[in-house]
Structure 1
Amino acid sequence: MNSPTVLIIDDEPDIVELLEMTLQRMQVRTCSAATMSQALDKLGKQRFDLCLTDMRLPDGDGLTIVRHIQQHYPQTPVAMITAYGSLDTAISALKAGAFDFLTKPVDLQRLRELVSNALRLSLSTPEQKNVTQDEADPILGISPPIVQLRSQIAKLARSQAPLYISGESGSGKELVARRIHALGARAEQPFVPVNCGAIPSELMESEFFGHKRGSFTGAIADKPGLFQAASRGTLFLDEVADLPMAMQVKLLRAIQEKAVRPLGTQQEEAVDIRLLCATHKDLAAEVAAGRFRQDLFYRINVIELRVPPLRERREDIPLLTRHILARLAVRNEMPGSTVSPETLERLSNYRFPGNVRELENILERAFTLSEGQLIKTHDIHIAPCASSQDQQPSLTQIDSLEDYLDNIERTAITQALEETRWNKTAAAKRLGLTFRSLRYRLKKLGMED
């Protein structure tokens, strides 16, 4: 097998020499360019397994190179080299599609980790990628929101950028996080999920960062924390909005410094993780209310991925129902069950405030209690939807007025877009809105392309 080749784009000879020496010791071939025009010329003539580019170049900037590679060579990871403290630049690069970033002066251990991760991603074979993305995909569905979600996951798995996964309770945020990990360069390393709301506040620092023996009463041995457990892998912080303010400060430092300090020691330990965060709360609203630090939100929300609720993907309910019932049959070593057409219609018209998790609970109860192998409408304990003469829901059916109104608005906009073949100008006119107003609503409701 040929050695991988890395393109280094920098106009500082000392930096280029340092990168070349380090990579050559890793059995990696290098090629260098001092300007953007030289780099674009080399990219057009040769395939590279990784590109390292400085932000500032004599005839352009690294962001232009990142965008060019994303457009023309999307299978080539690209990492940005920025000046120390240039956080805004690094975040801009990640949002543009960069795999990761390094700061000057370059930390050689960090460089080696970045290169190893990028090359694992770049050198995986198309056959491996196809099997991973198709046959083993646990995210089921054929609806447009799920097709789009799969596409976004495949793209984001190729990055090391911190990712914020938003979505309602039960919509499958952890499943999405696991899928991103499985498709990424860290797939062979640990995936460590953490429910931030389930850890007592007095134990949080020890749980996250570890402790040394004797650091507090009951600390009878050294214990690694969750950051150390996820080293070289992925740390998934679920319900991150539940972190107390004091812990948010410590988490921000750990993310910025890529290091943690266990309780009972003054020494920091370097950690190499990819951070994924999720919550069912509106994190921007939590920031506005003063319950979540804005600087931490800025760091973990480099890229946001929205998981659609089940009511926005009703056409997936039959497929999900069959899959859940088949899994229940295997787990309980019992014959499989099916649902009657009337039951499936009842499920398809239900609002599912608890999303896929609620569907699973409904079907598990029906699977256990139904007589025979056909699940009927009375087995699922869901009230029929309102008749055409009475479309007004009772208050017991509305768990959140804002959510209910958003759903009505989303349905009306979707219908207008479908009727106008997704012509936004025509849809705005159909709804009696200005084009700008429609754009605002699409963004607010998470319906942008």
Structure 2
Amino acid sequence: MKTKILIIDDEAKILRALKFLLEDEYQVFTSDNMTDGKRIFIEEKINLVLLDLRLSEGSGLNLMEELLSIDPSAVIIIMTAYSTIDNSIRAIKAGAYYFITKPIDNEQLLILLSTASEKLDLKKELDQLQGHLRKTLIGESKSILGIRKVVDKIKDTDATVLITGESGTGKELIAQTIHTSSNRAKKPFIAINCAAMPSELLESELFGYKKGSFTGAFKENIGLIRKADKGTLFLDEIGEMDGRLQSKILRFLQEKEVRQIGDEKNFPVDVRVICSTNRDIKEQIRLGNFREDLYYRINVINIVAPPLRDRVEDLQLLVPHFIHKYRIAYSKDVDGVTEEAMKQLKSYSFPGNVRELENIIQRAVLLSGEDQIGVDALNLNNPTLIRGDHDSSEKHIKIYEGESLKDIEKKVIRFALENNRQNRRWTAESLGISERSLRYKIKEYDL
């Protein structure tokens, strides 16, 4: 199928000449005005545009900004008969892919469009690959095969699922796999990280709100639960949710209906709920931080996401997968790892699990100057690499009124260990204690 290209210029003879030049290689659309150009861009889903800088209706740069707001990935080449350095800089800063001067050199234009088309093809392939990654459990280890069997048995039921496991093990990927293999696959999959926002904001995002129900509620929001109707709602890190909101979630699960903030009407919803946590929920129940009745409601089916160190054999599939993903993203010629590098990967503990493996391969592909990633490119002994892939939701812990000092200390040490990838020297340094004291505390608190 030919790549679509849109040419926008208010001179009819230029439109005819460019269409004649390009129609053998491209599916060409033309417009002599901004309104029709924007309409064609949207209706035909075009992402390659030749745009005149000066149009009778106004500036081509203004139209370019509108088009890029609709599709930020679009490649737009600016044409002009008024070539100045200032115009070129303005166009590139505004998001133009290239700036070409009239009268147009046909050979230069054809080379430029060929390069732009390759860029679009690479992006399309990368997007497809990333979509495949989000929806596919990669691995043939016993634990992954076991998860696939469970998913196959429960995929078309409405049973709630609790996915537990360490950070970076792919809990959301398991949730997506359940959704995409189920009879709800064509309906929405909506995920929200319960640890990433304050309780009040999380409540309004989940349940929605009426216009004017609180300061800042300028328009009505139906909420993520209703947006997920007939589909799947994934509550990531539900163990971080506060008690009051837990009660509302419990009621929603029991009644299968929700009420917006500021409304008196209940709305029925049909939603499959999947939750995840990297916390020990039973310990949180003991501490009074998590409702026991909610735990039993969400834990109808429990799936444990295994740490990567327990399925090292899956590296043979995961490593090539990530190499292929990032060689496309960075236009690199890397096509594998050396035998020594794979041996080192297999002996590494991966405290950050699959997420850390992806970061390591991404960095190695980006920096490698060879077609095979070697030990040096892996850089597994670099503390910055090992400690540097935390997201913002993992940099805070919650302390509740009524917790004992021992419980707080245990929580802080557990957090520090996770935040430092289980490295005891780094953990001790971050806590300001000796490694010997840390070892004692780990033993005392059974960490």
TM-score norm. by structure 2 comes to 0.56
Pair 1:167–1:364, CA change in 2 (3 A): same
Match of 2:278 in 1: 280
Q: Secondary structure at the match of 1:237?
A: strand
Q: Decide whether the 8 Å contact of 1:171 with 1:357 is kept in 2.
A: yes
- Cα distance in 2, alignment partners of residues 255 and 401 from structure 1: 42
How many angstroms apart in 2 are the aligned matches of 1:352 and 1:382? 10
Distance 2:134 2:220 in 1: 38
Q: Which residue of 1 aligns with 2:413?
A: none
State the partner residue of 1:155: 153
* Deviation of 1:377 (Å): 0.8
SS in structure 1 of the partner of residue 296 of structure 2? helix
Identity within the alignment, %:
41
Cα pair 1:337 1:367 within 8 Å, conserved: no
The structural deviation recorded for 1:220 is: 1.5
Max Rg structure:
2
Moved over 6 A (4+): 134-137, 397-402
- Answer yes or no: is the 8 Å Cα contact 2:165–2:304 preserved in 1: yes
Closer/same/farther in 2, CA of residues 137 and 210 from structure 1, 3 Å limit? closer
**C-alpha distance in 2 between matches for 1:293 and 1:182:** 30
- Paired AA for residue 137 in structure 2: I
Q: How does 1:429-448 map to 2 (within 5 A)?
A: none
Name the residue aligned to 1:325: 323
Residue 137 of structure 1: CA displacement?
A: 6.6
Determine the structure 2 residue equivalent to 1:361: 359
1:301 and 2:299 matched: yes
Q: Any unmatched runs of 5+ in structure 2?
A: 1-131, 383-421, 429-437
| Cα distance, 1:195–1:370 mapped onto 2, change above 3 Å | same
Distance 1:137 1:253, change over 3 A: closer
Evaluate the alpha carbon distance shift between residue 141 and residue 218 of structure 1 in structure 2; reply closer, same or farther with a 3 A threshold: same
Displacement of 1:154:
1.1
Q: Specify which of 172, 197, 200 is matched with residue 198 of structure 2.
A: 200
In structure 1, what is the equivalent of residue 6 of structure 2?
none
Q: What displacement does 1:397 show?
A: 8.5
- The one-letter code of the counterpart of 2:148 is R
1:271 lines up with 2:269 in the alignment: yes
- Give me the whole-angstrom Cα distance separating, in 1, the residues matched to 2:311 and 2:425: 23
What corresponds to 1:395 in structure 2?
Answer: 424
- For residues 126-145 of structure 1, the aligned pairs below 5 Å read 138-145=136-143
Q: Determine helix, strand or coil for the equivalent of 1:198.
A: coil
2:239 is the counterpart of 1:210: no
In 2, Cα distance between the equivalents of 1:324 and 1:242? 31
Q: Distance in 1 between matches of 2:133 and 2:247?
A: 41
1:206 & 1:137 partners in 2: Cα distance? 28
* CA drift at 1:167: 1.1
Q: Distance in 1 between matches of 2:342 and 2:426?
A: 20
> Does 1:374 pair with 2:403?
no
Secondary structure in 2 aligned to 1:197?
coil
Contact between 1:239 and 1:280, CA under 8 Å: does it hold in 2?
yes
The answer to whether the aligner puts 1:314 opposite 2:312 as a matched pair is yes
After the TM superposition, which residues 13-24 of structure 1 pair with which residues of structure 2 at under 5 Å, given as runs?
none
Q: What TM-score, normalized by structure 1, do the two folds share?
A: 0.55
- 2:334/2:373 contact within 8 Å kept: no
Question: What is the CA RMSD across the aligned residues, in angstroms?
Answer: 2.6
- Give the corresponding residue for 2:219: 221
Aligned counterpart, 1:41 = none
Partner deviation per Cα, 1:351-393 (whole Å, 9 max, x = no partner): 1111000000011111111222221112112249xxxxxxxx9
